[in-house]
A = this chain, B = another copy of it.
Amino acid sequence: MIQTGDDLASLIAQRIRAMGMTLKEGDVMVVAQKIVSKAEGRWVHLSQVTPSPQAVELARLADKDPRLVELILQESREILRVRPGLIIVEHRLGFVCANAGIDHSNVKGDDEWVLLLPEDPDRSARALRAAWQEAFGVDNVAVIINDSHGRAWRLGTVGVAIGLAGLHPLTDRRGDPDLTGRTLHVTVVGTADELAAAASAVMGQADEAIPAVHIRGARFQPGDGRLQDLLRPKERDLFR
């Protein structure tokens, strides 16, 4: 149960040591968005929010609390789709998600606290990475902050990366020869999202019992990647 101001890097490093583990070169740490947001104090109490006329109108269409909708608007660049219970947006961070990723499900016993996404998840990931690399004396650790997103076409949420540090989130295999020696046509793999989904399968979704997952043996390309690398440019997205 993470509190505002908690030092996540230290808390998780302690847990790693308590399990008799360490971080090694090439390890990947995936951290649930929710604990990053909590440590960063991204709470808002709905009583402090005054909905704009636009929020009131959108709340009516979406059958949601206008104050929550005001926050969704503040956290978004663009509203893409609305139906009762659901507002799909382009988040200010660039990805498409439902309800601007605002969490209203697991709060402090008061119905009116909501939790926003981290202000800059790439920055959060870089800070965790720097702290862990120093704590464990390693140079090549990747950090991914994941969240669960719904998808076009398919049902069910899956874990995706919303922030990262220390890796290129895409693995470009165009031009790699395959087993027969032929050259592959087109394969760019969403490595960070696959690792985010793998971690999500371990974390479960309903609670914070497992808020961080330590992956060893994954193949990734070290580097200064960022969330933006994973996002399809809007003008080249055929499904917006």
Residues of A with Cβ closer than 8 Å to B? 1, 81, 83, 85, 88, 95-96, 104-109, 148, 151-160, 169-171, 173, 176, 178-180, 182, 184-191, 193-195, 197-198, 200-202, 204-209, 218-219, 229-232, 237-240
Contact = CB atoms under 8 A, between A and B. Distances in A.
B180 A204 contact: no
Contacts of A198: 194, 197-198, 201
A231 B197 contact: no
22 contacts: A83-B238, A85-B186, A95-B154, A105-B182, A106-B178, A108-B180, A109-B182, A151-B151, A151-B152, A153-B237, A154-B193, A154-B231, A155-B170, A155-B229, A155-B230, A155-B231, A156-B170, A156-B193, A179-B207, A191-B201, A198-B201, A201-B219
> Interface SS of chain A: helix, strand, loop or mixed?
loop
A182 B107 contact: yes
A9 to B, nearest CB: 22
